Structure 1
């Protein structure tokens, strides 16, 4: 009864028509999920096709059968160190075949893996992650052992050395983890300066990767690119998406373009994708992007030659919880509809449903909502809340993304609440300024930052767009207070380690360029 009353109160703002659409638009299709644990899907593929190539990296390959055998051996070793359900194992290494062995072994042992790229993560961050997870074991490679922080009572195991050891290990029966236990823990940037660990469960992961469209149509014989930083949640889409469907994971070296050239499926951020040429990637059948807003021109370009999915969703809702199969003829580029067994609600500041077409904040519910922040109940309580629309003790997550429903039931992404700024007393959505710039010929990517209470500065790439033309285009499309005071053209926008536009770096560059002593040489150096 309390849940029914809460739902009735929440829907009171809507008329009968919008109430029906709120339910119809906000609920993803209900579909069965074939596995409760994502590594069980991998094991099924290994049993069916033991000789098929599971992964390749810089000339080395490993079959499904051998990958499964090596993961079993390492899982036994982990169990011998006391690792079991509810535990966490740190993976401090880089993209490699041993990384896959360590990841799968952790899952087989019943624990959650915690990936960090030792080539890019600062030592202080590695130490924080190890302490926050209270990991009994850190997995690395022998070449990276010196990068693992010393101290503590944890064991450090080099996966490549375990793989090379010919000694047979007993394979004891290991207790299975509950589907609602952690599959992986990813650390997102926190407001306190310390990254926050998000626990994503097996049930969360299986729901996206083992149903359409999140499975991306991956099948045995496909080649799936692994190009992203392993600490980024979209890397789990690459890795586990490929291995759970019998595909070959193509792990890149230094060059992304070389890795994707002979692949069928590519998962990327729009920033990374914008550096690739579809005319040189003729084998690609499916592309999925997420992580940041996608320019319409970029989506159209790739959608002409392959199936192009535009998705959205923070780490806390398991990689993406909405997807659109975009076509160049579409009236608009959207983030689509909720994925299976998930819900999305557009709510006002009092958490009441917005009428269809009205802008509000997107909240996510359903099977993709993760288990919360690691050992941080206060932050979990701020961002997760009881879901009055699903009830039954379910939670929904505050994405801090702004959106609205189109008349045909798709979601338009309108930036983030933290990208809404006040300029000259007016509210401005920074992404709307960048979207205008990205619509111009010669502009592949754009980003806008607030320099002070009266000044916006935009950056565009590549470097051929005229700043005067860019400012005129914004002035023609948006109110005067949205027009950037300066537009700087860079060869390429700076990227974070996860392949997104590095806005803090651009803000620092904007501040330097605003100084009278700023020179063109500094701008050129920042772009390189």
Structure 2
């Protein structure tokens, strides 16, 4: 009788079970079949698992709004959300959300459906978000003031929504199809609340792999792609350490990011699932940051804030783009600072590192609990430890895929040969290598690699050198043409000659930017990242001006 088994390192063995018959020949020795780690040395196979597999941990709730409901029961009078002079308690937010969830159900919303949440940062928006989750549906957020009507229409069509939650002042901007229900959240919240509201329970039982939200990311075709993130995905990062950021009742968490950006879910759901107060920012981001315990931001947003003003801050987490070492050193001197990495498709972040100013290097850390990270070559073979390769993510962080786009899903997601069991892994397009102590060192993105004069250049590597120049807070490098790189640094006090010299001393000649432009601040996208499209326009305009 044959028996096949899989070793912890992913190798498959086939053995023959002996019988007691005395005349049968001895069974053959177990035969080892090629496994996914066959190309690695024995030592690297061990490290592949030790470094690449996050801790296995249980998660307290199967659905993220159940964590919110727990705090609404335990601390009902605590302030859940604060926006300017307005506040709402956990009890009131829970009651309002139950009322709206019942209305959504009456409008035909069922478990697994998608509800458009096209609004501005506000308390009514939070009511709409929690109500959508209570109804069993996934919320599809868009900051209605920052996207054109054509994109809103694309989101509605792709997500196949039937209800749009918005605000009275913005309802007319939305190209609502016939048959859609539009609910003005601020008008609903302004109505007197019912004294007794029964907790809403969907008629269809909820599943852990039900969608929680759908976020639309920029696509290569120019049309945004909808990424489906499940409750299993989001609970895994927000309800385990370090993704929970130590948030607890009494703490205040800033809500400063665009609601269509996945890190905004970290702010919103991270606060409300731990009994904290979510502080929605006004026009002055710095003023809000000065009054909170937890800041979640991109490095570009954080670089514009003076940590000396943030006397209350306890924890800062950054992700979304490479973090300058100087920025990490500055903030880690005054609070717990986490440098993190992970695209929307791997649920906010899937690696985190608590940075210390005395650390030898700035890394993106290790896989978060119940997640894995593999550094693979172009043929999806594991790279030897210490060799740069492309990161693939596995485990509970891996999202469902792209809504209505099976071809793109097939391109970016694949069966996970290391975990097996039908699990999938996701191609992050981030380049990294394992350090000797099991941390991931980030080397930019595969789509950040360009050819200049026939040589391969990693643009983020050039920018990292520039950000180490005295006085430089942020830097970005773009390819202007096949022979020319151009860099931008902030603030204007940075010496362009010194900056260019720093690159020439650290990198080959073909990596040196032709010109280093200084700006007071680098332009920023609506999601808080460096706007390289705007920089390209600026570089082209300046080159045209210089030619004239």
| TM-score range normalised by the length of the shorter chain | over 0.9
Query: What SS class does the counterpart of residue 19 from structure 1 fall into?
Result: helix
Counterpart residue number, 2:143:
117
How many residue pairs align between the two structures?
519
1:16 matches 2:45 = no
Give, in angstroms, the shift of residue 2 of structure 1. Answer: 9.5
Query: What SS class does the counterpart of residue 515 from structure 1 fall into?
Result: helix
Of 41, 61, 86 in structure 1, the residue corresponding to residue 112 of structure 2 is 86
Counterpart residue number, 2:426:
397
Give, in angstroms, the shift of residue 162 of structure 1. Answer: 1.6
Counterpart residue number, 1:450:
479
Give, in angstroms, the shift of residue 516 of structure 1. Answer: 3.9
Q: Work out whether residues 137 and 154 of structure 1, in 8 Å CA contact, stay in contact via their aligned partners in 2.
A: yes
Q: Work out whether residues 135 and 201 of structure 2, in 8 Å CA contact, stay in contact via their aligned partners in 1.
A: no
Query: What SS class does the counterpart of residue 11 from structure 1 fall into?
Result: coil
Between the aligned partners of 1:33 and 1:150, the Cα distance in structure 2 is 39
Q: Work out whether residues 400 and 416 of structure 1, in 8 Å CA contact, stay in contact via their aligned partners in 2.
A: yes
1:35 matches 2:64 = no
Q: Work out whether residues 28 and 338 of structure 1, in 8 Å CA contact, stay in contact via their aligned partners in 2.
A: yes
Counterpart residue number, 2:501:
472
1:296 matches 2:338 = no
Give, in angstroms, the shift of residue 152 of structure 1. Answer: 3.0
Between the aligned partners of 1:321 and 1:77, the Cα distance in structure 2 is 36
Between the aligned partners of 1:381 and 1:494, the Cα distance in structure 2 is 34
**Which sits farther off after the overlay, 166-175 or 236-245?**
166-175
Between the aligned partners of 2:301 and 2:224, the Cα distance in structure 1 is 23
Between the aligned partners of 2:426 and 2:433, the Cα distance in structure 1 is 17
Counterpart residue number, 2:214:
185
Query: What SS class does the counterpart of residue 158 from structure 2 fall into?
Result: helix
For residues 212-236 of structure 1, what are the alpha-carbon distances to aligned partners after superposition, in whole Å with 9 as ceiling and x for unaligned? 0000000000000000000000000
Query: What SS class does the counterpart of residue 510 from structure 2 fall into?
Result: helix
For residues 343-376 of structure 1, what are the alpha-carbon distances to aligned partners after superposition, in whole Å with 9 as ceiling and x for unaligned? 0000000000000110000000000000000011
Q: Residues 303 and 171 from structure 1, CA distance in 2 versus in 1: closer, same or farther, beyond 3 angstroms? A: closer
Give, in angstroms, the shift of residue 517 of structure 1. Answer: 5.0
Counterpart residue number, 2:284:
255
1:64 matches 2:93 = no
For residues 161-180 of structure 1, what are the alpha-carbon distances to aligned partners after superposition, in whole Å with 9 as ceiling and x for unaligned? 22223375776642342110
Counterpart residue number, 1:344:
373
Q: Work out whether residues 457 and 484 of structure 1, in 8 Å CA contact, stay in contact via their aligned partners in 2.
A: yes
Alignment of 1:199-278 (within 5 A): 199-278=228-307
Counterpart residue number, 1:95:
121
For residues 281-317 of structure 1, what are the alpha-carbon distances to aligned partners after superposition, in whole Å with 9 as ceiling and x for unaligned? 0110000000000000000000001000000000000
Q: Residues 302 and 164 from structure 1, CA distance in 2 versus in 1: closer, same or farther, beyond 3 angstroms? A: same
Give, in angstroms, the shift of residue 146 of structure 1. Answer: 1.3
Query: What SS class does the counterpart of residue 284 from structure 1 fall into?
Result: coil
Counterpart residue number, 2:414:
385
Between the aligned partners of 2:317 and 2:288, the Cα distance in structure 1 is 16
Query: What SS class does the counterpart of residue 401 from structure 2 fall into?
Result: coil
Q: How large is the RMSD of aligned CA atoms in angstroms?
A: 1.4
Alignment of 1:377-526 (within 5 A): 377-517=406-546
Counterpart residue number, 2:103:
77
**Structure 2 unaligned spans of 5+:** 13-32
Between the aligned partners of 1:421 and 1:9, the Cα distance in structure 2 is 34
Query: What SS class does the counterpart of residue 41 from structure 1 fall into?
Result: helix
Q: Work out whether residues 134 and 200 of structure 2, in 8 Å CA contact, stay in contact via their aligned partners in 1.
A: no
Counterpart residue number, 1:525:
none
Q: Work out whether residues 207 and 367 of structure 1, in 8 Å CA contact, stay in contact via their aligned partners in 2.
A: yes
1:318 matches 2:364 = no
Between the aligned partners of 2:44 and 2:393, the Cα distance in structure 1 is 19
**Which sits farther off after the overlay, 161-170 or 406-415?**
161-170
Give 1 or 2: higher helix fraction. Answer: 1
Q: Work out whether residues 461 and 493 of structure 1, in 8 Å CA contact, stay in contact via their aligned partners in 2.
A: yes
Query: TM-score scaled by structure 2?
Result: 0.93
Counterpart residue number, 1:152:
178
Give, in angstroms, the shift of residue 151 of structure 1. Answer: 2.8
Q: Work out whether residues 313 and 320 of structure 1, in 8 Å CA contact, stay in contact via their aligned partners in 2.
A: yes
Q: Residues 518 and 139 from structure 1, CA distance in 2 versus in 1: closer, same or farther, beyond 3 angstroms? A: farther
Between the aligned partners of 1:205 and 1:172, the Cα distance in structure 2 is 21
For residues 105-150 of structure 1, what are the alpha-carbon distances to aligned partners after superposition, in whole Å with 9 as ceiling and x for unaligned? 0000000000000110111111110111111100001121112113
Query: TM-score scaled by structure 1?
Result: 0.96
Alignment of 1:104-143 (within 5 A): 104-143=130-169
**Structure 1 unaligned spans of 5+:** 520-528
Counterpart residue number, 1:522:
none
Q: Work out whether residues 11 and 37 of structure 2, in 8 Å CA contact, stay in contact via their aligned partners in 1.
A: no
Counterpart residue number, 2:359:
330
**Which sits farther off after the overlay, 160-169 or 352-361?**
160-169
Q: Work out whether residues 226 and 238 of structure 1, in 8 Å CA contact, stay in contact via their aligned partners in 2.
A: yes
Query: What SS class does the counterpart of residue 448 from structure 1 fall into?
Result: strand
Counterpart residue number, 1:280:
309
